[in-house]
Amino acid sequence: MSSVSQKAKAASDSTDISENLWWKQAVVYQIYPRSFKDSTGSGLGDLKGITGKMGYLKALGVDAVWLSPFYPSELADGGYDVEDYRNVDPRLGTMDDFDAMVAAAHKAGIKIVVDIVPNHSSRLHQWFQEALKSEPGSPARNRYIFRDGKGPNGDEPPTKWIANFGGSAWTRVPDGQWYLHLFAKEQPDFNWDNREVRDDFLKTLKFWCDHGTDGFRVDVAEGLAKDLDRDDLDNYDVDAMHITIEDGSHPVYDRDEVHEIFREWRHEVFDKYTPARFAVAEAWVPASRQYLYARPDELGQVFNFKFAECNWLRDEMHEAIEDGIASAERTNGSTSTWVMGNHDVPRSASRYALPQIKTDNGLYHAVANDWLLRNGTTYHENRELGTKRARAAVMLEMALPGSAYVYQGEELGLFEVADIPWDELEDPWAFGTRRDLTKKGRDGCRVPLPWQSDGKDDSFGFSPAKQADGSNAEKPHLPQPAWFSDYAVDGEEANDDSMLSHYRRVLKLRHELQTPDTSLNWLDDYDHQTDAHDGADGNLGGSIAYRRANGWANITNFSATPMALPQGEVLLSSSPLTADGKLPQDTSVWMKL
């Protein structure tokens, strides 16, 4: 039995997780507010809708809820274009509604994590509107990144960069200058060299802490520090999700100076509260640099996106686990994070239901994105197989040491909605780029949740039938497919074999088995790759088998041949074992050894 870590008591010497360290092995449920639950009939989910479902979240067994942006926004990028960082979008509620939601969550024993978006604001933000009315070189413009253009008349953008959502990363304003936006043109980038910007975000962090927030998810954490005063800018691209430079020299991403910002957040805000606040970085950076964001004197944790990038292949999954644990160990105080899905990637059940094809060019989800681009017509989505693998995957994930992040709807086994009509899409990816050459966008995983299977109100219980004035409810902001009736909460709650029932059993047992010791040992006799191409779609098979310090073990079989299990007590399996007690393909089992 080989050991990944020799640190015996990494989280605590006691059997209880410290209140300051609750996040180290938490299950965090991501809510995309506009698609969770609508309480008013507006067609948009809202804060009261979340509060009304706090009992559901408690029954699920999550430790915390992470809210994607709920701030005032024109929704150019699903709320990640923020007009006012210290308020609630009136379509989603009020500050009183936020406070009531926090109180309800805390009463249920659930922490609250909010999304903070520091790389860019909305173009409608008061500061940017002031910048547009001010002269070049003014203090108002210095809060953002304005530059003169190239060419004899300055009519060429300062660089040739293509924004993440397509088109130039620069937009010209009437007086001839250009402003930088690494994402949509409606999202101008802040200038983090400006002390006023830094101070205002400290004020924002304190504001939400004072309103009961327990932590933060930091959007585009790697993008705040920038160096545009150099002559090699056109040698770089600015694709935020495929950063390959590992020495901190990229002009706009993962620069070493960004960590000065996060150390200030830790010293000036997070550690001023009891218990101390934490944050988790969204940083699509090379694995060798992820740990920098999670150091105890900075944010505390960073997403391990490699897990979410994997095909359902033994070696890819195994490498992601190894990298995640190694990254956490380098921080000398953090823990790993495990993410199978979020609001930016196709749903895991669909990814696992599609052909599992390795790519060697660094691109991930290539099959899923191609399938989406063509409205789900290019490959067969084997939903029975996708469900089986998703059930096994959550057990593989949840027994690992560290925090696990669950995106809303994963617990229902929802698949990607691939056939949303183009004229009903909201994601800027669908409109800022050439449709035949790029992605359809992320709306397929953002469709409002189904709560009731009968669908009589045309929203599967997402919205009430009537608005307050007695008029019919608006349609959900994204169309729900008819097959949602088979995955609605009420139906799954009544079915002991549903994905929801499986998640509840998994999370309940995870809490019972959890140990503060975050070491992990591979079970050498059971953890191995096979030489046979008997894994998914003819790939190499094998198994992943590991044991926690208290004897809690997970074994996942990726091979067509059922495998014998070690001596011990079987606690839970994702699918039935064979008649002779062996572990079938695409199945996980938890044991006490």
Using one digit for the tens of pLDDT, what is the confidence trace for 393-435? 999 999 999 999 999 999 999 999 999 999 999 988 877 655 4
The helix (H) or strand (E) run that includes residue 397 is helix 383-398
In this prediction, residue 146 carries a pLDDT of 98
Backbone dihedral region for residue 431 (phi beyond 0: left; psi -120 to 50: alpha; all else: beta): alpha
More confident residue, 457 or 474: 474
Least confident residue range of 87-101, 140-154, 230-244: 230-244
Answer yes or no: 219 catalytic: yes
Answer yes or no: 458 catalytic: no
| Residue 470 to residue 466: CA distance in whole angstroms | 6
- Report the share of the chain in percent with pLDDT over 90: 86
Residue 2 has pLDDT above 70, yes or no: no
Query: In whole angstroms, how far apart are CA 181 and each of 165, 185, 540?
Result: 10, 6, 43
Q: Summarize pLDDT for 283-307 with one digit per residue, the tens.
A: 989 888 999 999 999 999 999 888 8
Least confident residue range of 278-287, 487-496, 502-511: 278-287
Catalytic, out of 77, 219, 416, 517? 219
* Confidence band, pLDDT 50/70/90 cuts, at residue 4: very low
Task: Please report the beta strands in 402-476, taking only residues with DSSP state E, as ranges in sequence order.
Answer: 403-407
Buried (b) or exposed (e) across 228-245, using 16+ Cβ within 10 A? Answer: eeeeebeebebebeebee
The model's pTM is 0.94
Catalytic, out of 46, 282, 315, 426? 282
* Confidence band, pLDDT 50/70/90 cuts, at residue 455: low
In this prediction, residue 364 carries a pLDDT of 82
Least confident residue range of 42-46, 318-322, 359-363, 530-534: 359-363
Rounded mean pLDDT of 6-28?
Answer: 60
In this prediction, residue 359 carries a pLDDT of 80
User: Whole-number mean pLDDT of the chain?
Assistant: 93
